[in-house]
C-alpha cells in the first residue's frame, strides 16, 4: 500500500465490542411488549443507525401511529433495557487481539479515534477500560445526522486534526462504509460489511489492519 495514513477512526459496536446482540435483545423486548414483529434480519438493518432511526425501522411493522412523544418514550425504554446489559460489561468483553492491535497502532504513531452513532459510547468504553486508547471520541452525542451521513467521522477527523484523506475508517456496517466514502475517507470493512463492494479494504480478523498501517515512527 502506497498511501500513508495518519489517523484511524473506529466504529465501536461490532468492531471493538460486540453489543449487537444486546441491542437486539433490548429492541426485541420492546417490540414484543408493543406487539410488533421483529427478528434478527430486521435487526441487521439497525447496524450503525441511530436510536431514533432504528425505532422508525421497527415501527414500519406497527399498525399503530405513534406521536413523537410516544416515540421518545419507546426509545428511552429500549435504552433502559439495553443499559441493563451494558452495566454487566467488563474489560474481558474486549478481545486480547483487539487491545494488543490498538496498542501496536499507537506505538506505530497513529492517532486513534472513535466514530460511533451510539450515545452510550463513553459509557461502554469506560466499562471495558478502552477510553485511554483514543485521542478523541466522536459519537451520537455530538452529531445531528447519523450514518450513512458522514458527520460523525468528519467530526472525529476534526478532533484529531487530520484530513479525511489521511484517515482510515474501520466499520462493520454498510451504513458506516457509505458514511466513510461520502466523507472522503478510505474504509476498511470487518464482519457484515465485508459483503459491501464499496469498502476499500476487507479483513476477517481485527489484527489484519496492521497490514495496512505500517509504522510511521
Q: Which residues are catalytic?
A: 11, 13
Residue 12 or 169 with smaller CB distance to ligand BG6: 12
Q: Which stretch binds ligand BG6 (CB under 6 A): 45-53, 128-136, 163-171, 202-210?
A: 45-53
Within a 10 A sphere around the Cβ of 207, how many other Cβ atoms?
A: 13
Of 194, 157, 156, nearest in space to 173 by CA:
194
Outline where the chain has alpha helix (H). Answer: 20-34, 40-44, 51-59, 68-86, 96-107, 121-127, 151-159, 174-182
Q: Which of residues 84-123 bind Mg ion (CB under 5 A)?
A: none
**How many residues are given for the chain?**
217
Within a 10 A sphere around the Cβ of 30, how many other Cβ atoms?
A: 21
d(CA 169, CA 147): 13
Does 101 bind ligand BG6 (CB under 6 A)? Our answer is: no
**What x/- string results for residues 138 through 177 when contact with ligand BG6 is judged by CB under 6 A?**
--x-------------------------------------
> Measured at the alpha carbon of residue 168, what is the angle toward residues 164 and 172, in degrees to the nearest 5?
120
Does 187 bind ligand BG6 (CB under 6 A)? Our answer is: no
Does 172 bind Mg ion (CB under 5 A)? Our answer is: yes
Q: Which stretch binds Mg ion (CB under 5 A): 23-31, 132-140, 141-149, 173-181?
A: 173-181
Among 6, 28, 47, 111, binds ligand BG6 (CB under 6 A): 47
Q: Give contact residues for ligand BG6 (rule: CB under 6 A).
A: 12-13, 23, 46-51, 54, 79, 116-120, 140
Amino acid at each position: 500500500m502506497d498511501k500513508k495514513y495518519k489517523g484511524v477512526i473506529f466504529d465501536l459496536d461490532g468492531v471493538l465490542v460486540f453489543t449487537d446482540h444486546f441491542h437486539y435483545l433490548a429492541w426485541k423486548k420492546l417490540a414484543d411488549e408493543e406487539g410488533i414483529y421483529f427478528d434478527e434480519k430486521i435487526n441487521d438493518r439497525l447496524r450503525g443507525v441511530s436510536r431514533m432511526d432504528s425505532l422508525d425501522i421497527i415501527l414500519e411493522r406497527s399498525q399503530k401511529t405513534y406521536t413523537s412523544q410516544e416515540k421518545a418514550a419507546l426509545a428511552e425504554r429500549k435504552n433502559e433495557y439495553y443499559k441493563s446489559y451494558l452495566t454487566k460489561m467488563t474489560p474481558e468483553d474486549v478481545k486480547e487481539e483487539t487491545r494488543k492491535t490498538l496498542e501496536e497502532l499507537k506505538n506505530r504513531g497513529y492517532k486513534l479515534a472513535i466514530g460511533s452513532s451510539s450515545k452510550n459510547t463513553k459509557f461502554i468504553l469506560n466499562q471495558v477500560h478502552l477510553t485511554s486508547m483514543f485521542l478523541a471520541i466522536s459519537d451520537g452525542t455530538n452529531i445531528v445526522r447519523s450514518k450513512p451521513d458522514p458527520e460523525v467521522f468528519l467530526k472525529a477527523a476534526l478532533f484529531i486534526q487530520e484530513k479525511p484523506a489521511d484517515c482510515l475508517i474501520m466499520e462493520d456496517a454498510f451504513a458506516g462504509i457509505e458514511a466513510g466514502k461520502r466523507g472522503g475517507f478510505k474504509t476498511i470493512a470487518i464482519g457484515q460489511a465485508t459483503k459491501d463492494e464499496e469498502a476499500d479494504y476487507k479483513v476477517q480478523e481485527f489484527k489484519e489492519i496492521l497490514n495496512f498501517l505500517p509504522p510511521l515512527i
